[in-house]
Structure 1
Amino acid sequence: MRSYLTGPAGTRAAALAAALLLLAGGGPAVADDGRADRDFTIEDPRITESSGLAASRAHPGIYWTHNDSDDGPYVFAVDSRTGKTVATITMRGVGEPRDVEGISIGPDGDIYVGDIGDNLDGSWSHVWIYRFPEPKELRDATVTAVQYDVKYADGPRNAEALMVHPKTGRVYIASKNGDGGGLYEGPAKLTTGAVNTFRRVDEVPWVTDGAFSPDGGSLVLRSYFSARVYDFEDGRLGESEAVAAPFQRQAESVTYTADGSALMFGSEGLRSGVVRVEVAGREGGRDGAPSKGGDEAGDQGGDRERGSGSGSAAADGSGDGNVALGAAVLVGIAVLWLGLRRRRG
């Protein structure tokens, strides 16, 4: 029989739980004005582990997503106006997906799906990328996808971020490691007749997802508690700035809106929320850089935190703000759990 806190202790626990849910993004909702590309909640009960997001190029306001491991060869089109799934795509011609972690759309309009996760950090000698044209009509369909075998030049590793450059069509993968990861560049053109070797070209922090800006001049990489936008030129990372990413329960995805005006941050979980954070061009006019709407007084040596949005964390000028918030929430959860344990004892 379960035991619940009652009286003053129960009141305090309920208040703490409510506050934690608010901090953890417990209140995502569809925008009141009904416009596309605003905060929304994924309503489909089948989507419980949304691990990647990609803004449709053909259908304004539509976002492609997929579940994590062991869900099958499915990709979902979700309407940001309502949060409802408007098309389910079943991929055929591919093997059984193992751990699908990323999704991106290339300059040719093809959707790339990254079966690149490896939670045992190197147990699989190769991973896969699936590719198919973005459907012209939004309806349930089965499509024939191309499957590419992928390996890394420096050995197997875990990864969750797949990014296709919107101008060159080159595919990049960011690996995930407790000590940081690497940015890997694929061959100029993926082929089906041989293994496609990805080579490490730069170092990156812990990454759960990433996306290029529509003009290809910026690359955003996110983790559980933070995000950074990098200049990207000639296939290499340049200067970076912190973004005021929202704190979410399991921060697994990010993409730019199709027009590059905002970043959309997603999370795993049933009825998970997608949060919009505004971005704007840097001085000099490049799209896709963090918004300059933050507090200039908080700038520290060029490592500035930018971005604003209804669901974003407070842009307090410190790149560590989201980490501190996340730590505070985790401590609060631990206190609540211990209180419940004592009561049940």
Structure 2
Amino acid sequence: MVTNFVFILLIGSSLLQPAPAAPIFSHGINVGVITDHDVTEASGLASSRIHPNVLYTHNDKGDSSRIFAVDADSGNVLAELNINNARNYDWEDIAVGGCPGALTKSCIYIGDTGDHAGDGSVKNIYVVKEPVLLKDGSLDPIVTLHYEWSVLDTETLMIDPSGNVILVSKVHGGIGQVGMIPASAFQSSATYRISTSTTLNIPQTTHNDPVGGDISPNGREVLLRTHNSLFYWRVDSMDYLTTLSTVDPVVVSHVKEHQGEAVAWDTLGNGYFTCSEGHNQPIYYFRRSSQ
């Protein structure tokens, strides 16, 4: 009888073990200011995989089809890169990951996924190779993927280590849809149709949310930004649709910015950056302080 009691006690204690604690990140450190007058609506942010301390950003709707390479230590623009054969109807997010069919090489994914006129997004993703040299110039897309999805507006584009793209729609209240475009779709010229999606599990907001996100370089952590919060998930299974729709997120450090939409992990996953749309906006860095 005593043995059974001890066994039951041990089983019960194992079931009551707390979940692994979420990492703690420092308060935002202002590491630089983007003073370049051509960067007026930094809607997305992504860390270079080949250039240390370099971030890529782009303007929101209505700008020409260009991205900017920015020094993460100062905010200075290092290069303006025009994307050939592309159009900025409403570019909303940017991500860096493995290239289609060549994951060991680094590519930039640009999402023309936003709806600024109430008639839906054009749903194009441009993929360009990261430039070896950072200087003003132009880049040719190696892939321009058109996709179909039932949602009207999407402001979050993320890429996982396997080259799959995760999209999160933006809706009033923030409870949007999470969809995936597999890496294989970027090796085809066909339009990809997202036919299966899940519902995002975040507390309801009072705005049209979410507005941006990023997957860590190792694929095990996700950040998703709303107007007033920054949410974090641990994703050990690499099953992003299930995790983002069933697991409660943790709120992590953020700064209330003028119109903050952009967030990006640093290259090593030691912390993350944020910045806001507008002129002369600071770049904030949040360093991981514990695990």
Category of TM-score, reference length = shorter chain = 0.7 to 0.9
Unpaired runs of at least 5, structure 1: 1-27, 32-37, 283-345
Q: Give the count of matched residue pairs.
A: 242
- Post-superposition shift, 1:213? 1.1
Question: What is the alpha-carbon distance in structure 2 between the residues aligned to residue 204 and residue 85 of structure 1?
Answer: 36
Which secondary structure does the structure 2 equivalent of 1:220 belong to?
strand
Q: Does 1:69 align with 2:61?
A: yes
Partner of 1:242: 251
Change (3 A) 1:73 1:253: same
CA positional deviation for 1:91: 0.8
Structure 2 contact 168–210 (Cα < 8 Å) conserved: yes
Q: SS of the counterpart of 2:184?
A: coil
Aligned to 1:151: 148
Which residues in structure 2 correspond to 1:48-197 (within 5 Å)? 48-94=40-86, 96-107=87-98, 108=103, 109-120=106-117, 123-124=119-120, 126-145=122-141, 146-152=143-149, 155-165=150-160, 167-179=161-173, 180-191=175-186, 192-197=188-193
Q: Distance in 2 between matches of 1:125 and 1:272?
A: 27
Pick aligned residue for 2:271 from 256, 262, 287: 262
Matched residue SS, 2:152:
coil
Task: Give the direction of change, closer, same or farther, for the CA distance of 1:204–1:73 in structure 2 (3 Å limit).
Answer: farther
Which residue of structure 1 lines up, in the alignment, with residue 205 of structure 2? none
Per the TM alignment, residue 151 of structure 1 is displaced from its structure 2 partner at its CA by: 1.4
TM-score for the superposition, normalised by structure 2: 0.78
Give 1:229-308 correspondences, 5 Å limit: 229-232=232-235, 233-236=237-240, 237=243, 238-280=247-289, 282=291
2: distance between equivalents of 1:125 and 1:68? Answer: 13
Give distance in 1, aligned partners of 2:120 and 2:91: 14
Residue 143 of structure 1, CA deviation: 1.3
Q: Could you tell me which runs of 5 or more consecutive residues in structure 2 were left unpaired when the two chains were aligned.
A: 1-27, 203-208
Tell me the distance in 2 between the aligned counterparts of 1:141 and 1:148: 23
Q: How far is the alpha carbon of 1:125 from its aligned partner? A: 6.6
Relative to its length, the structure with more strand (as a share) is 2
CA distance in 2, matches of 1:213, 1:230: 10
Per-residue Cα deviation, 1:273-301 (whole angstroms, up to 9, x for no partner): 1111122563xxxxxxxxxxxxxxxxxxx
- Please say if residues 174 and 182 of structure 1, whose CA atoms lie closer than 8 Å, have aligned partners that are also in contact: yes
Q: Cα gap change, 1:212/1:248 in structure 2, threshold over 3 Å: closer, same or farther?
A: same
The structure whose RCO (Cα within 8 Å, separation 6+) is larger is: 2
Structure 1 residues 272 and 144: CA distance shift in structure 2, 3 A = same
1:181 shift after superposition: 0.8
- Larger displacement relative to structure 2 (141-150 or 124-133): 124-133
Indicate the percent of aligned positions where both proteins have the same amino acid.
28
Distance in 2 (CA, whole Å) between partners of 1:43 and 1:79 is 12
Q: Is the 8 A contact 1:87 1:140 kept in 2?
A: yes
The separation in 1 between residues aligned to 2:154 and 2:121, in whole angstroms, is: 13
1:183-236 deviations in Å (ceiling 9; x for gaps): 111134224421112331341442110001111001100111101111222323
- TM-score, length basis structure 1: 0.66
| Residue identity in the other structure for 1:53 | L
Is 1:209 the counterpart of 2:212? The answer is: yes
User: What amino acid maps onto 1:190 in structure 2?
Assistant: A
Instruction: State whether residues 182 and 204 of structure 1, in contact with CA within 8 Å, keep that contact through their aligned partners in structure 2.
Output: no
Alpha carbons 1:54, 1:105 under 8 Å: kept: yes
